Each structure stands twice: as structure tokens, then as C-alpha cells.
Structure 1
Amino acid sequence: MKKIYVGLFFFTSLFSYAQKNDTSTVLTDITEKVKDYYVDNETYKKVNSLFQSELKKGTFNELNKKDFAALLTQKLRTTIKDEHFFVKYLENYTPEKQMSEKEKEKLNNEHNSLENFGFETVQRLPGNIGYINFKGFASPEASEKTLAAAMNFVANTHSLIIDLRENGGGENGMVLLFCSYFFDQKTDLYTTYFRHDNKTVLNSTQPEVSGQKYLHKKIYILTSKKTFSAGEAVAYFLQQYKLAEIIGEKTGGAANPVDPFIIQNQYLLLVPAGKITSLKSKKNWEHIGVTPDQEVKSEDALKTTHVKILKNMATTETKTELTIPEIKNLIYKLEQ
């Protein structure tokens, strides 16, 4: 029994040592990626200090890999104050499963198509008001037809509500394509600086789109605390150019684009690697979010906006499928 006990103790100690060594390697690799890519070239020092402190305290001991990744995400976001940091354990990942960029894009597009490329709902509300519930930005190439169909559907409405309350972001190219529907000509919106390559890219809307543009009409964007990244970008730029009124809650405050990395063939790491600068404001919404023109609770944003539009219609006696008494009756029902 004594020999068995000693053997078990030795095996447990060896396992603990291997686990600690594996954890240290992962943390070292993450620190190096932050050092090489993060938009602020001094931030890696904070990351290294954080990791060394947590290792000494044994914070990561006894954690499974999924929980370890989740805790890393939380620690990085809290310490660096950047919500774009993300670590995820890739349970079934092996190097042999790596795909070409075309294969990755095809798989991505297949997955995004199952969610209709982020377009949850497109409808016409009473009073001839367009409504688009848009939850995420897939690639512009894959989303182009669905976006055009959505915009064609609302083309004849009196005004448009774009619901971004559950929009967690996505691809930069789709931000530009979506915004292109609201600008009558090509407009330079912002630059993106990438520290690793030391290059700055100009981001502009397109002069032509495949669907019908929505111009010279009232646009309202609904936001929440969950509106994030690319979702914030649309709200920010349409507000900046006075093309839309924002109604809801202040957004998450994540402007900087990310680069993805595979760490030790086990973890996906997202590192904010660039900085967006609006050509109009010379700023962005990083850390501060997009402030609504009218702040209301997220759950009340749609009703508030619908009522606001209807009241304006009643005041200006705008022609819709509803009579003025019908509009007033609908306002009364919505406000109850």
C-alpha cells in the first residue's frame, strides 16, 4: 500500500507539473502575440505582469481548459479594459484540420447562411415604417443579395428603424456595404491603423449598391448595451453624418479591429490589432460607446421609436395607409 501511495503521489505531482508547464507556455505565447500585435505597444507589459501574478497565486490551478480560457478572457478584458480580447478553448482542433482561406470562407458562409447572414426580421410596421432586425455582420460577398433584398423590401416605406440591440458585430466590409445604402455618393468614413504592419487603410462607402438605396428619409437605430463592435460602427457613423437618430442604451464601446491566432493548437485568441479613426470626428467609440440621441431602456426602444414616428406623422399629417384618427388610436394602444 505504501508503494502504491508513493507512486500515485509521484504521478499526481508529475501531472500537476505538466499542467502548470502547459499553462505557462500558453500564457507566454499570448503575451508574445499581444506584444507583437496589440494596438498599444506597451500593453504586453501589463499582460505579462497580470499572468505572472496569477500564476504565483495559483489562480489557474485545477481549471479545465474551457474554464481556463473563459477566465483568461475575463482577466484580459478587465485589466486592459478592452472588450475585444477573447480566448476560447478549441476542443476538437488539430493542425491537420487547418483549412485554406477559401475553405474557411466557404464554411463561414455556410454557417452564416443558416442565420440568414444576420437578418433576423424585415417587415413593414403600421404607418408604412420599415423595420430591419440585424443581428450580425457576415462577409459582404456572402451577404450582398440578402442585404439587397432587405433594402428593396423597405424601399417604399416612409421611414426606417434598424434594430441593432442584439448585434454583436462582425466583418468590417459589411459595415461599409451596409452604410453605402444611406450615402448618396462615395464617402470616406474612417481610417484603420494596423500596428504590426505599420499601415493605415482608408475605409469608404460604395457609390453603387445592388439594391435600392435609402436616401433623404428618416432613419432610427435601436441600440443596447449588447450592441458591439461593427454594430456600433453603423450607429456611430450614421449618427455622425446626421443620417440617423439613435434611440436606446449606450453601446459596449469596442471600436478596434481584431486579429485571430491559434495558441498551442488549443486556443483561439483574438487580439485588438488596429485603431479606427473617424475622418469626421477624429475619434472613435472605444471604451466610451455610442451615446443615443434619446436614452431609453433597451426593451422600450422599439415602442418608443414607433410612437415617435407616428406622432410626427399625426402632427405633419403625413399620408400613409392609416388615417389621422387611426394613427392616434395606434399611438394610444402602443403607449398603454
Structure 2
Amino acid sequence: MQSKLLSAAAMALALMGGQGVVPDKAHAQARPPVASSAAVELSATQRAAVLSAIRQAVRSSYVFPDRAPAILARLDAAQTSGRYDVSSPNELAGLISGDLRDASQDGHVYLEYAPDRFAAASAGADATQALSEIDAAAARRDNHGLSALEILPGNVRYLKIDAFHWVSDETGRAYDDAMRFLKGGDAVIIDLRGNGGGASEAVQYLVSHFLRAGTLEITFLKAGQEPVQTRALDNLPAGRLTGTPLYVLIDQASASAAESFAYDVQQFKLGRLVGANTAGAANNNDFFPIAPGFMLSLSVGRPVHAVSGGNWEGVGVAPDTPTSSVQALDAAQAEALRALLSTTTSDAAKTDYAWALTAVEARLNPPMVDAALLQSAPGAYRNYVVTMQDGALVVARPGHPLWPAPRKLQALTADGLFAVEGLDVLRIGFKDGALQLWWKDEPAPRIIPKT
């Protein structure tokens, strides 16, 4: 998780290249090494200076001094072996990052080549503003990390969050719009798969919609500073979403701030986690500029959760429903639909949920349709024509203006019920030599014999 309250001015460190802690806003984005298109070649002298600066930063600032000897020994051995004898800054950053992470077992310890951020962090008194402008531009371009909103069948509302950006007086409004959209759902799915983290302010804003105002969330501990607490906010323009079933998708690439939200959901029992165990990166990190264009991330503190009294560092957050990252969305939607079916008293809602659930379950467990049925299905059924094309059944309505081309049939059940491509309100079955038209709003099928 990102650092809480970075210092307002660069801390002067007597290191080659003017290294200092990044005078960034609270919670600079947690980024993996970023490639640069600039053709820059490093000299042996520059590489040695980079390693010297990293060593001194580890000795002076790393939150776990007992791990420093292993890190330093790994860097020394790699340098002596010639492992770092490369001219590409991005390649060097990747090699050093791998060694730093292996030696520290800390996901927030890495090196990135980021000349723009290095220049901003080295801008003296203007560094805070320069870095904020870079982060704000990235946040706006990414819609503050909110990349997708969708109404899934059964009125399950879906939100994809790729990163937890935070720009004061801007990001909150983007979340307000998303929360208003989610409030209209019978259940909510928030997708954090592949989300590498970001700003705790964004996590605090998001989780506040599911907690009572004033609820203590996390306390951030950093050596030499007073503990800093975050609590559920009072003022939420979109209102709270308490009472709406919540499902959160996670995987091995969900890290840092993404894990913080997942951990909140688990510890406060706000909903269910679906997917795979997360990365296990809980520590708070600061960034240190390293000449001639690198940024070093080091853990400088740790979060303590209000419920567990601990955090997820090194172990990650375990899902309530383990499944592959690829199937997590379908698994969560299936869970949501089954739960809604078990509680609703509305016949219309039951029909809607059951209709949607059939399709989701077919994606999770594709049925095997009897070969004899597939062989007997092709033919003419009044104004419908079923054929076999490329091993799949397709249905056409010759001459129909709204059905200009054949539509593929996708098996939903082993006994011969099929979804119609691009037409969710209709399903087709085959029984006793006849075609069955199952319309969503009709309780029984229309039977059309083969002609």
C-alpha cells in the first residue's frame, strides 16, 4: 500500500545525484518499472553511482533494517558478477528490481526508470507541485482509474477499477458518478483484478460508501511520525450502498491499495471476495530520485487495520470463493444471482435472475450436448432454418428485416437448450423433432414442428 503522508520537501541525503525522498502528495501511485522510449545509454560510472545511491537509501530509510544486509549482499554479488553490466536504463531497472524484491520479499521495493518523475522530484521547492501535475494528468487520462461500468444480466451492476488514482476535488466526483450507477443494481461487483494499487485516499473514499460514517479503517505507522488514521467519511454525495450485496474480484496482480480495499471488505464483512489470493504488498512506500533518471521505491511504514490489528504483507488477501482470474467475474455473478433468487419474492425478478443464471453457469461449466441431438437439429421449422456451420448450429430467418444473417447457437444445457447470439431475450430448444422458442417474458415455449 502506498505511503501515508510523504514529506512536503525533499529530505536532503548526501548521495550522488541529489537523492531525496520524493516530495509527492500523499500516496503516489505504485508503479512497476516503466519503459522509456528515449535512447539513453548508461556508463559504468553511472551504474556504479546508481548502486551506491540505492545502498545508502536502503541503509538510511528502509523500514525493516534487519532485511538490509540481505539486500545489500544481493546487490554486491550481482554487481561483482557483472549482472548489471548493461547500458539500457530500463534493463538495469528490471534487473535491480528483481534482486531487490527477491532479497527483501517486499513488493514495494523496486527501481523504475522514469526521467519525467525524476526531473519533477529533483525540482527543489517546486517538486511537490511538479509531481502532482504528472499524477493528475495520468489520473484524468485514465478517468481516475474507473475504466468500465456495465449492467450485467439480472441487474448486477459492475465497476472495473484499474488503479486507485487521487486528485483532490476531482477524483471524488468520478467516484460519485460511479456510485450513483451502482446504487441502481440488485447486486454490485467491483473488479480489482490487475489493479496494482495507488492512493489510500481513493480507497478511503470508496470504502466509505459501505461503512458507517466515522468508522476507523486503518492506522498508518511511520518511524519518527505520529500515527495517522483514516475513517469512513461523512459527506458522500452519492449516498451509501449499505445493504446491497457486494462482490469484489481479486487476483495475484491485485496489490497494495487494491488489497487494502479487499482487506476492508473481508475484515468488516462488507461482501465476498472472488478470485485468487492477492500479491501481499501492504507496506507504505516513499520514492527516492536516483540520478540519472531513476526512482527508487522503499517501504517506510506499515498499515494496521482496525479489525485485525495487522495487515496483509507477505500473505495477501485470500478469496472467499477461490477461482481462476479468468472465471472470477462469472463466478461472482453466479453467486450474486443465486443469492438474489433465494431472497426475492417477485416472480418477475425470479424469472430475470434464473434466465441470467443459466447463461452464466453455462460459461462456467460448458455443457456437452448429445451428438444425436446435434445431428437431428438441422432443418426447416416454418420460417426458421437451422443448419450446421463449422461444427456449430446456427439459426436463420430468411427474409426477416431484423434478422439479416444467421445467428450462432451456444449450448446452455446438456438437454439441448441454446442461447441465440446477440439476442438475449430468446432461447431455442430442440425436442421430439420440433423447435422450441423460449421467449424471456413467456412462461412456456412456442412449439414449431419441422417442415
Per the normalisation by structure 1, the TM-score is 0.88
Q: Distance in 2 between matches of 1:221 and 1:62?
A: 42
Q: Decide whether the 8 Å contact of 1:88 with 1:268 is kept in 2.
A: yes
- Which secondary structure does the structure 1 equivalent of 2:154 belong to? coil
Aligned positions of 1:174-253 closer than 5 A: 174-195=202-223, 197-253=224-280
- Which secondary structure does the structure 1 equivalent of 2:227 belong to? strand
Q: Distance in 1 between matches of 2:345 and 2:292?
A: 61
Report the CA distance shift for 1:325/1:180 in structure 2 as closer, same or farther (over 3 A): closer
Report the CA distance shift for 1:96/1:240 in structure 2 as closer, same or farther (over 3 A): closer
Name 2:183's counterpart in structure 1.
155
Report the CA distance shift for 1:306/1:46 in structure 2 as closer, same or farther (over 3 A): same
Q: Report the alpha carbon displacement of residue 41 of structure 1 after superposing the two structures with TM.
A: 2.0
Q: Residue deviations 1:5-41, cap 9 Å, x none?
A: xxxxxxxxxxxxx943332221121111122221112
- Which secondary structure does the structure 2 equivalent of 1:269 belong to? strand
Q: Report the alpha carbon displacement of residue 89 of structure 1 after superposing the two structures with TM.
A: 2.1
The ranges of structure 1 where at least 4 consecutive aligned residues each deviate by more than 4 angstroms after the TM superposition are 91-97
- Which secondary structure does the structure 2 equivalent of 1:182 belong to? coil
In the alignment of these two chains, the number of paired residues is 317
Q: Decide whether the 8 Å contact of 1:188 with 1:279 is kept in 2.
A: yes
Q: Decide whether the 8 Å contact of 1:94 with 1:265 is kept in 2.
A: no
Aligned alpha-carbon RMSD (Å): 2.0
Name 1:90's counterpart in structure 2.
114
- Equivalent residue for 1:135, pick from 137, 162, 171: 162
Q: Decide whether the 8 Å contact of 1:123 with 1:154 is kept in 2.
A: no
Larger mean Cα displacement after TM superposition, 126-135 or 255-264:
126-135
Q: Quick one: which amino acid aligns to residue 188 of structure 2? A: L
Name 2:134's counterpart in structure 1.
107
1:325 aligns with 2:351: yes
Q: Decide whether the 8 Å contact of 2:121 with 2:130 is kept in 1.
A: no
Q: Decide whether the 8 Å contact of 2:213 with 2:231 is kept in 1.
A: no
Q: Distance in 1 between matches of 2:346 and 2:156?
A: 12
Q: Quick one: which amino acid aligns to residue 226 of structure 1? A: A
- Which secondary structure does the structure 1 equivalent of 2:326 belong to? helix
Q: Report the alpha carbon displacement of residue 91 of structure 1 after superposing the two structures with TM.
A: 4.7
Q: Residue deviations 1:264-321, cap 9 Å, x none?
A: 232111111111111211110001000001101111111111112112222223548x
Name 1:51's counterpart in structure 2.
75
Q: Distance in 2 between matches of 1:303 and 1:318?
A: 24
**Larger strand fraction of residues:** 2
Report the CA distance shift for 1:283/1:307 in structure 2 as closer, same or farther (over 3 A): same
Q: Decide whether the 8 Å contact of 1:32 with 1:44 is kept in 2.
A: no
Q: Distance in 2 between matches of 1:271 and 1:97?
A: 17
Q: Distance in 2 between matches of 1:28 and 1:229?
A: 28
Q: Residue deviations 1:236-276, cap 9 Å, x none?
A: 01110101110111001100111011112321111111111
Q: Report the alpha carbon displacement of residue 126 of structure 1 after superposing the two structures with TM.
A: 2.1
**Larger helix fraction of residues:** 1
Q: Distance in 1 between matches of 2:351 and 2:245?
A: 22
Q: Quick one: which amino acid aligns to residue 89 of structure 1? A: Y
Report the CA distance shift for 1:186/1:153 in structure 2 as closer, same or farther (over 3 A): same
Quote the sequence identity (%). Answer: 24
Name 2:337's counterpart in structure 1.
310
Structure 2, unmatched stretches of 5+, are 1-41, 363-451
Per the normalisation by structure 2, the TM-score is 0.67
Q: Quick one: which amino acid aligns to residue 361 of structure 2? A: E
Q: Distance in 2 between matches of 1:137 and 1:111?
A: 11
Name 1:37's counterpart in structure 2.
61
Report the CA distance shift for 1:155/1:94 in structure 2 as closer, same or farther (over 3 A): closer
Name 2:146's counterpart in structure 1.
119
Q: Quick one: which amino acid aligns to residue 190 of structure 2? A: I
Name 1:28's counterpart in structure 2.
52
Q: Decide whether the 8 Å contact of 1:140 with 1:173 is kept in 2.
A: no
Q: Distance in 2 between matches of 1:328 and 1:95?
A: 55
User: Structure with the greater relative contact order (CA < 8 A, sep ≥ 6): 1 or 2?
Assistant: 1
Q: Distance in 1 between matches of 2:274 and 2:299?
A: 28
Q: Distance in 2 between matches of 1:154 and 1:242?
A: 19
Q: Report the alpha carbon displacement of residue 325 of structure 1 after superposing the two structures with TM.
A: 3.4
Q: Report the alpha carbon displacement of residue 326 of structure 1 after superposing the two structures with TM.
A: 3.9
Larger mean Cα displacement after TM superposition, 88-97 or 150-159:
88-97
Q: Distance in 2 between matches of 1:167 and 1:95?
A: 25
- Which secondary structure does the structure 1 equivalent of 2:316 belong to? coil
Q: Residue deviations 1:188-209, cap 9 Å, x none?
A: 11211112x3432222221222
Q: Distance in 2 between matches of 1:241 and 1:131?
A: 21
